[in-house]
Amino acid sequence: MTVPPAAKPTPQQIEALGARAHQFLVSGRPHEAIQALMPVIPFAQKMPKVLLVYAQALGNISQHERCAETLKAICKQIPSDPHPRTEYAVALARCGKYEAALENIRKARVHAPHYTRAANVEAEVLMDLGRNEEALETIEAYLRDTPQDKLDVTSRAHICSTKSRLAPKYLRVEDVVDEVVAFAQNKEVKDYLRGIIAARAAKLLDTAGRYDEAIEMTKLSKEIRDLPWDYAAHTKRTDAMIAAWTSEAAARIPTGEADGSGMVFIVGMPRSGTSLLEQMLARHPEVQATGERNDVLRIAGTIHPPRMGDMPMISDFSRLTPQSVRQLSAMLASEINARRERGIRYIIDKQPFNYLYVPLIARLLPGAKVLHTVRDGRDTCISYYMQWFNGKHGQCNSFDTLGRYYADYRRTMDAWKSLPSPGQRPEMIDVSYESLVAEPERVMREVMGFLGMDFDPIVLDTKATDRVVATASRDQVKSEIYTSSVERWRRYERHLAPFMRHAGAYVEG
């Protein structure tokens, strides 16, 4: 069913599209849900049920700010409904607005004290704020006060999963790990939740030194989630992208007029140290961290629209005319600078997948700098494979797909490094994760020198910032710098043959 762009749809048409979008959403096709609803959203502002589907689809593709804005509008219309209020709190947390998330989840719980998801969200937000004792009290109070007939197996599994995040700092791993594993294996638990629980069980098993069991739990999590990934198509698109940007045609692409000299992009593989580097730089009073932004990714999608659900990878320059480059350059700079706080010299975007757009950044934001985090590929692979992400990362479905993806990533970065700077790529340096955790002062002196800044020891002070991290690395970067993740791969070496088959040429030692 489609609605002509010029026609005002009837409420019945909007409801029908909402139902169709909901089917897309529950079948794991959020992009199609958004596409179905976008033409009628301007006419659906007083239809909270439809808006909720739209908001959830936005959240599923990591458009958390737009998701939060939509949910805020819903909450104004139905302020006592705990469901949208809870989802609003989740969206705020994913935007890094944890205090606002806590305020809203507590409003939701006033109206529904026994709503399991709300109780879990409150506990998770408290953990993100470092208020772990309060988080544990929230969980224990929920279990104590909720009638047993409201605690079905999924509710108990959800609570167990949340509670497990407090191990090993606040709970002993051995006191929770077997219960978490049991829920991961219990097919009465809803699949999506079971996938999350299996990933958390794997982390606990890793901490307990039960490494083979940790791998088996991670495999279970991947099997339950069953994310699509076409490695051959990705490699083909990588080849086309590299060929395009290293061609003579790319050298003729004009440069925008925006000033990118106050902008820094931290790029690399997920789990390669991007969050740690960003957090250390953010301790400096003249540096502002903004987390993982999608500004560049969205603009890349307008230049070379990808297949639905794919990451944009530009190999067609037909839309990069002098006029469009000027417009896109101004638009991107405006979006970034709108977030810049007073007195800030450098604003950081640490979206790791911006590695795909290094040459584009040079064209649209001349003067911007790139920090490329590098880490032993085996450690990166293990960490990426075992991490649960809310977004879809099908490339880490297995060690085989990860090996193929890692090789494509390394080929891409090697190609970008071969380009002349600053014309066809920004000024860029590699930052070694292993060196950063072993010799933080030396490495940060080099990084700050590259940025034209004097070294300030505040960047080494783990207590010097109250910024809360809104990425999968949030628990690690709030801790002291540690070296225990270096050569972690040795615990899993016997499982890494599929990874090494594809990526071995890029691994040293």
**Positive/negative CA dihedral, 37, 39, 41, 44:** negative
**Do the Cβ atoms of 279 and 469 come closer than 8 Å?**
yes
User: What pLDDT score does 480 carry?
Assistant: 67
Query: In the structure encoding, which two tokens stand for residue 396, read together?
Result: 């880490």
* Residue in the structure block whose two tokens are 């990588």: 238
Q: How far apart are CA 123 and CA 137, in angstroms?
A: 9
User: What pLDDT score does 477 carry?
Assistant: 47
The half-sphere exposure of 424 on its side-chain side, counting CA atoms within 13 A, is 17
Residues 184-206 as b/e (b if ≥16 CB within 10 A, e otherwise) read beeeebeeebbbbbbbbbbbbbb
Q: How far apart are CA 505 and CA 411, in angstroms?
A: 11
The residue among 270, 180, 231, 200 whose CA lies nearest residue 398 is 231
**CA 473 from centre of chain:** 10
User: What pLDDT score does 150 carry?
Assistant: 86
Size (the chain), residues: 509
Q: How far apart are CA 457 and CA 290, in angstroms?
A: 22
pTM equals 0.87
For residue 173, CA distances in Å to 60, 136, 228 come to 31, 15, 33
User: What pLDDT score does 479 carry?
Assistant: 54
User: What pLDDT score does 509 carry?
Assistant: 64
The residue among 462, 430, 463, 464 whose CA lies nearest residue 447 is 430
- Rounded to 10°, the helix 211-225/173-185 angle is 40
Q: What is the C-alpha end-to-end distance of the chain, expressed in Å?
A: 57
User: What pLDDT score does 214 carry?
Assistant: 98
Which residues fall within 8 angstroms of residue 133, CB to CB, at 6 or more apart? 170
Q: How far apart are CA 209 and CA 76, in angstroms?
A: 49
Q: How far apart are CA 280 and CA 260, in angstroms?
A: 22
For each successive 10 residues of the chain (509 residues), what is the average pLDDT? 65 95 90 93 96 95 92 97 97 95 98 95 97 96 92 93 92 94 96 94 96 98 94 97 98 96 97 96 96 93 91 96 97 95 96 98 98 97 93 93 98 98 94 97 98 96 61 51 86 97 90
Helix count (H) and strand count (E) of the chain? 24, 5
Q: What number of other Cβ atoms are within 10 A of residue 244's Cβ?
A: 17
Query: In the structure encoding, which two tokens stand for residue 342, read together?
Result: 């007073």
Domains of the chain (ranges; CATH) run 232-506 (3.40.50.300)
